[in-house]
Chains A and B, each alone.
Chain A
């Protein structure tokens, strides 16, 4: 299977081509089988290859698949190094294996779910063609062996994200801003361009400095880079991180993700929760060798991550659209991952990436099930008490909520605790406190969401209540599978202190050879020896306590009707700020969009009046001259003869005088 690893991205690509080309003429059943089957095949190949990889000794776990042809031959870029060849090459190593398995596994479940969710929608085959294309691009991103092929996947998923956000391109999306679904897609695409520009510059900078883009060679070259090149490494690290900020919706480029919820819910689950948005974290971890040499860049990563984790959580507490609550939650959780990566706990970041993929995909699919059951209702103020109507959805949603809130022994507890412990171990107390506060808020807004949707009395119309129904099995089975994963997924990374010092942390052991460790080896509490066991119990207890406190507070606030509104009124400014998303969109509108429009109008006017004026002026001048000169063309022979005579006389005078 290891030899066939290049098939993993190719299979969904082929399915996308088939569904895209002839899908409209195929029956829906065939489209579904092609789409889900290709992803399942990729999952099987990826699993087989990973199993084979795990039989190799730890240091040898890097398999470069045969290249699918050369892409660019650049000649020698850096003096003293050979010519640069960039090939279409894929490689499986522990890190890419984790990413590929998460993408394939969660992706497959979401594809199956979509068969039910999209059953009554227009453009069924178009949807699955885009989804398959997305899978192909995401797997290209995950399995790429050099930064440029990764960038192809990176842009490819961005394209699919745009296509799928704007899938219902003819529907309005946001009444407040008058945005349509197509506008939301464009917004996502344009905001991503900002980060991607920095990313490209970072890639070129890297190529010009080290003469290679292969991850292993870059890591090696960075490790042996002379000490004077630290500034350069920081610059490259920051540029790459700017790209990650765009893709992973970190402050200040987070504005597109909430609006990305315009897409169908399975899209939100797959692209804007589980896989694509985590690409930034994955990329940073892939380049961990570079980041550990650039501590200033890592400090920025950690600070941006923690700030995002906290602010997005605050925004999440005030949103009223079920999907937007989850979107802010995603932004916030991505912030956790970056914070983890920024303090050197790369393994913890990937661990959280994986568990987050499970529970956040589950949350979105659960939300989709609710929206489906209520015939398109998304406002949590018109929901309530749905646990009696949608028992399976409720049960799985509850598991996911406990997981994201960090309640033991659900998956989120282990990964989030590891990031928190990593921040503590790195000596970043402020960062730790921000993340801890974020964890409490996370528990609060998720419980609020759960409570407002599934508990209390129904606040919508009676017709809606009568219509509300549980989803078909094709949708509930993926929910149950994901719930199981969210419940037990954390046990692959059991911290040593919980197992009385025995090393049962398979996840760390698996990833260790593929990820660089920071100078002080702050790998969460994987190493375990750096500090006493008591502290770890304390940190875990604090995380759990904050989570439980958040849950308790949310239950207390939302059980009593009207209490939440009174609190919002008392909070005044703070509530308005959070409700209006800290006016970041408005800030962009005023600082960038409007000046840009003004500039556009100016250059438009310049074009219309100056450039066009010159061109038209030439024409007008010729026209005027012609109109004047034509007056000589009277059509009377005698006039011509007279002028002729005068001309001859003039020449004669001239000749005689000369």
Chain B
């Protein structure tokens, strides 16, 4: 039996890594990976609490989040490909057309 507190700590670290990836990296793909990390950190937290409290709903949420992550990855990668075709770059700092 693993200590739930430890697992939550792992989840928090994963989330922090995800946030850092999104905020600090400029490559679009890395940012998407950061988002995946955050989502999975959330999943981990869900599982821990589900087990600890003996509720099944949280496990259902996990499936939803996984589906969402798959859809998000598909749409996100499509945008990145479209962006690359248009601009030949995946650097998000080069894409600020909607700025004032």
Contact = CB atoms under 8 A, between A and B. Distances in A.
A645 B19 contact: yes
Contacts of A636: 92-93, 96
A641 B97 contact: no
A635 B23 contact: no
Nearest to A626: B100
A637 interface: yes
A500 interface: no
B99 to A, nearest CB: 3
B22 A635 contact: no
Question: What bracket does the count of chain B residues touching chain A fall in?
Answer: 10 to 19
A638 B19 CA distance: 10
A634 interface: yes
A633 interface: yes
Contacts, number: 28
Contacts of A638: 22-24, 26, 92
Contact of B23 (A630, A634, A641): A641
A404 B22 CA distance: 108
B8 to A, nearest CB: 16
Given A641-B22, A645-B19, A634 B92 contact: no
B6 interface: no
Contacts of A634: 96, 99
A636 B26 CA distance: 10
A633 B19 contact: no
A637 B98 contact: no
A642 interface: yes
A634 B100 CA distance: 8
Contacts of B93: 636-637
A444 to B, nearest CB: 86
B70 to A, nearest CB: 21
Nearest to B97: A635
Contacts of B26: 638
B80 interface: no
Contacts of B95: 635, 637
Contacts of A641: 22-23
Given A641-B22, A641-B23, A645-B19, A635 B31 contact: no
Contact of A637 (B19, B31, B100): B31
A637 B92 contact: yes
Interface string A621-658: 00000000010011111100110010000000000000
Contacts of B92: 636-638
Interface string B28-69: 000100000000000000000000000000000000000000
Given A638-B22, A638-B92, A642-B23, 17 more contacts: A630-B100, A633-B99, A633-B100, A634-B96, A635-B95, A635-B96, A635-B97, A636-B92, A636-B93, A636-B96, A637-B31, A637-B93, A637-B95, A638-B23, A638-B26, A641-B23, A645-B23
Interface of B: 19, 22-24, 26, 31, 92-93, 95-100
11 contacts: A635-B96, A635-B99, A636-B96, A637-B93, A637-B95, A638-B23, A638-B24, A641-B22, A641-B23, A642-B23, A645-B23
Give the 4 A-B CB pairs with smallest separation, nearest first: A635-B96, A635-B99, A630-B100, A637-B92
